[in-house]
Chains A and B, each alone.
Chain A
Amino acid sequence: MKNSTNNLYAIYILWLRQIKRYFRSKSRMIGSLGQPIVFLVALGFGFGSIFAKAGGGNYIQFLSPGIIAMSIMFTAVFSGIELIWDRQFGFLKETMVAPVSRLTIMFGRTLGGATTATIQGIIVFIITIVIGFRPDIFAILWGLLFMFGIAIVFTSFGTAIASTMEDMQGFGLIVNLVNMPLFFLSGALFPLTTAPFWIQWIAFINPLSYGVDGLRGAFTGVSQYSLGVDALVVFCITVLFLSIGSWLFGRVEV
């Protein structure tokens, strides 16, 4: 019987692999919850009263969408390390000689990485509710949409970086160099409207800003831009990053 490769099925297979690996490594799953919890508790309760005194309202309500976005972004970018891992341990070769295009492989991997990052975001979302976050439950679909958007953007970004890297240490360094400023200057921790001019400019060109803003708008009804603008920007960046990621991944040699 003739074999016939179905690209959609191949994407599903590659996606399934990432999901299985994610649920199998419980330690990684639980370990990566530490950082968002520390941020939520330390900042949320530490700055809460000052934020309220300054007239900002409930800080947990402001901070939670930012922390959800942060945990998605970090997980998503770091999923790029699996590409380096697969290259060093040979599994990448197995996919590269399969009768499917590079684009299919890239899509399958990105979708898998983005799904696990979104699941991570949902777990953090549940934690924020336990801590005292009160989101608008009717906007949950919008919220999920932004969570998945952030996940896709930064998984592509991680893949793009990983495609040009030989070793894991280099990847870790570059990622930390980029992740931290993106996070701190995204409006995740403080309102941008009252921030200095130059921070506003950086936030303006920071993709994460629109993800955080959209997520906050969906869950709390308070946002800098309208949900439509945020969604459009996140969508355009998704297309851009997916293209860059695909192009760089297409050049990977094994």
Chain B
Amino acid sequence: MAESAISVKNLTKTFKHGFKAVDDISFEVEKGSIFAFLGPNGAGKTTTIKMLTTLLHPTSGTITLNGLDPVKHPHAVRESFGIVFQDPSLDDELTAYENMYFHAGLYGVPRAETPKKIEDMMNFVELWDRRDSLVKTFSGGMKRRLEIARGLLHTPAILFLDEPTTGLDPQTRNYIWTYLKKLNKEKGLTIFFTTHYMEEVERAADKVAIIDHGKIITMDTAPNIVAAAGTANLEDAFIKLTGRAIREQEGNGMDHMRQMRQLRTGGRR
């Protein structure tokens, strides 16, 4: 059996008031594979990613990331993954280069190698000629590409992407997935991502897990899930498995704004 980059066993997260956001889930992500983690809004995707990336402590269960436990060795684990959050996390008042430079400093990238690495990564996402522009002048797609470049700057073994393409036009989405697949193939990068765009999953993912109400309801390759559900495509299979009801998500103002944006842009596909 192939080695696991991520191994999760009986993971549970209970919030205050007894709400179980993640309920006893287990899964393995093979090294060098692309893993899609799907589910309706509020199903527990982001909570799971937060636990995998040391931002939240699990209530119970174990996580192993590159052979390490994020609860016991948060710093070593943080050095071993890169992350692109659901919402932008760049400093708008700084230039693209400065954002990269500060990331390198926080992650202890050797200073002698930093300029070369930044140049390589920014060339890779085709933003090198915009290095001295303030990030606030960037479009949504450019910000995303910069975040991907930044997440890869410290040469992680795993890249987490929480809805990396939400709100982007088809051209940019296509562009980003071309990059990611190239990285996966050339450097053996393990990719763990969430999305609401099912055709991205069918195109890129080696394995798919669908989570709903905090539980994993199915986990297989995309064609197998479609075949088992007896539907025409993954989108129909997803709806068949998770139901037609529209989900409400508790959240702060930013989440709400993002949801509104999704409502406006997501329905057009």
- Do A and B truly interact? yes
Report which A residues bind B (CB closer than 8 A): 1, 3-6, 9-10, 12-14, 16-17, 20-21, 24-25, 88-101, 166-167, 253-254
Contacts of A1 in B (CB 8 A): 110, 113
Besides A4-B110, A90-B85, A99-B79, 15 other A-B contacts (C-beta < 8 A): A3-B79, A3-B109, A5-B75, A5-B79, A5-B107, A9-B105, A17-B102, A20-B98, A21-B91, A89-B88, A89-B92, A90-B87, A90-B89, A93-B89, A98-B78
- Known A13-B106, A97-B54, A97-B55; contact A91-B76, beta-carbon cutoff 8 A: no
The yes or no answer to B254 lying at the interface (CB within 8 A) is yes
CA distance A227 to B74 in the complex (A): 45
Contacts of B252 in A (CB 8 A): 166
Quick one: CB contact mask for B72-107 with A, threshold 8 Å, 1 for yes? 001110110001010111111110001000110111
- Known A3-B110, A89-B88, A93-B55; contact A99-B105, beta-carbon cutoff 8 A: no
Cβ distance B70 to chain A, nearest Cβ, rounded Å: 10
- Which one of B107, B109, B252, B254 has the greatest number of beta carbons of chain A within 10 Å? B107
CA distance A167 to B54 in the complex (A): 25
**Is the beta-carbon distance between B108 and A4 smaller than 8 angstroms?**
yes
Cβ distance A253 to chain B, nearest Cβ, rounded Å: 8
Closest residue of chain B to A25 (Cβ to Cβ) is B93
- Chain B contact residues (Cβ within 8 angstroms of A): what range? 35 or more
The yes or no answer to B144 lying at the interface (CB within 8 A) is no
Contacts of A90 in B (CB 8 A): 85, 87-90
CB < 8 Å neighbour of A100 from B56, B94, B106, B110 = B106
Chain B residues 212-269 with CB under 8 Å of chain A are 252-254
- Known A10-B105, A13-B102, A99-B75; contact A24-B53, beta-carbon cutoff 8 A: no
CA distance A39 to B45 in the complex (A): 54
The yes or no answer to B154 lying at the interface (CB within 8 A) is yes
Chain B residues 132-156 with CB under 8 Å of chain A are 150, 154-155
CA distance A24 to B135 in the complex (A): 13
Chain B, interface SS category: loop
CA distance A3 to B81 in the complex (A): 12
CB < 8 Å neighbour of A91 from B53, B90, B254 = B90
Closest residue of chain A to B113 (Cβ to Cβ) is A1
CA distance A24 to B136 in the complex (A): 13
CA distance A25 to B92 in the complex (A): 12
- Known A3-B154, A99-B76, A254-B55; contact A94-B103, beta-carbon cutoff 8 A: yes
CA distance A21 to B155 in the complex (A): 28
Can you report 6 A-B residue pairs in the complex whose CB atoms are below 8 A from each other?
A4-B108, A5-B106, A9-B108, A10-B105, A98-B106, A99-B108
Contacts of A167 in B (CB 8 A): 253
Closest 7 CB pairs of A and B: A5-B108, A13-B105, A90-B89, A98-B106, A99-B78, A99-B75, A94-B89
CA distance A190 to B79 in the complex (A): 55
Contacts of A95 in B (CB 8 A): 106
**Is the beta-carbon distance between B107 and A3 smaller than 8 angstroms?**
yes
- Which one of B103, B106, B252, B253 has the greatest number of beta carbons of chain A within 10 Å? B106
Cβ distance A2 to chain B, nearest Cβ, rounded Å: 8
**Is the beta-carbon distance between A97 and B83 smaller than 8 angstroms?**
yes
- Known A3-B79, A4-B108, A166-B252; contact A93-B91, beta-carbon cutoff 8 A: no
Contacts of A254 in B (CB 8 A): 55
**Is the beta-carbon distance between B55 and A6 smaller than 8 angstroms?**
no
Cβ distance A103 to chain B, nearest Cβ, rounded Å: 13
Closest residue of chain A to B112 (Cβ to Cβ) is A1
CA distance A101 to B98 in the complex (A): 22
Contacts of A100 in B (CB 8 A): 75, 106
Closest residue of chain A to B76 (Cβ to Cβ) is A99
Closest residue of chain B to A1 (Cβ to Cβ) is B110
CA distance A4 to B109 in the complex (A): 7
**Is the beta-carbon distance between A91 and B110 smaller than 8 angstroms?**
no
CA distance A116 to B74 in the complex (A): 32
Contacts of B98 in A (CB 8 A): 17, 20
CB < 8 Å neighbour of B93 from A9, A21, A94 = A21
Closest residue of chain A to B92 (Cβ to Cβ) is A89
Contacts of B106 in A (CB 8 A): 5, 10, 13-14, 95, 98-100
- Which one of A90, A100, A166 has the greatest number of beta carbons of chain B within 10 Å? A90
